[in-house]
Amino acid sequence: MLQFCIHYGLHFGLPLLIALLFFKTYWVKAYIIMLLAFVIDLDHLLANPIFEANRCSINFHPLHSYYAIVVYILMLFFNRTRLLGMGLVAHIIADSVDCFLMQI
């Protein structure tokens, strides 16, 4: 239960924190754009079974692969993709913490 709370707390809280700290004048818009990063979880539909409680998403699903993560980091360097890139990186951080918590 604690792992669940940490995982989803990071998924929703980290983008909110980023939006409030760095995009004060339009934090709601920034937060919504960063939440759109949840779209990368659609790659879970390609797995069989779709959900497995003890499966680490990082480098298992195509949109959670190391190659995709490099693209998400590169998105941070361009104005047009920065917010979505931040959301994607925050999503990967949340999933990475979840993978870490599975191991302890």
Is residue 95 within 8 Å of residue 57, measured between CB atoms?
yes
List, for residues 8-29, the tens digit of each pLDDT value.
Answer: 999 999 999 999 999 999 999 9
Q: Locate tokens 């809280």: which residue?
A: 13
Is residue 73 within 8 Å of residue 89, measured between CB atoms?
yes
Distance CA 56, CA 50 (A): 13
List, for residues 47-93, the tens digit of each pLDDT value.
Answer: 999 988 889 999 999 999 999 999 999 999 999 999 999 999 999 99
Predicted TM-score (pTM) of the model is: 0.94
Q: What pLDDT sits at residue 32?
A: 97
CB under 8 Å to 90, separation ≥6 — which residues?
A: 10, 11, 14, 15, 18, 34, 37
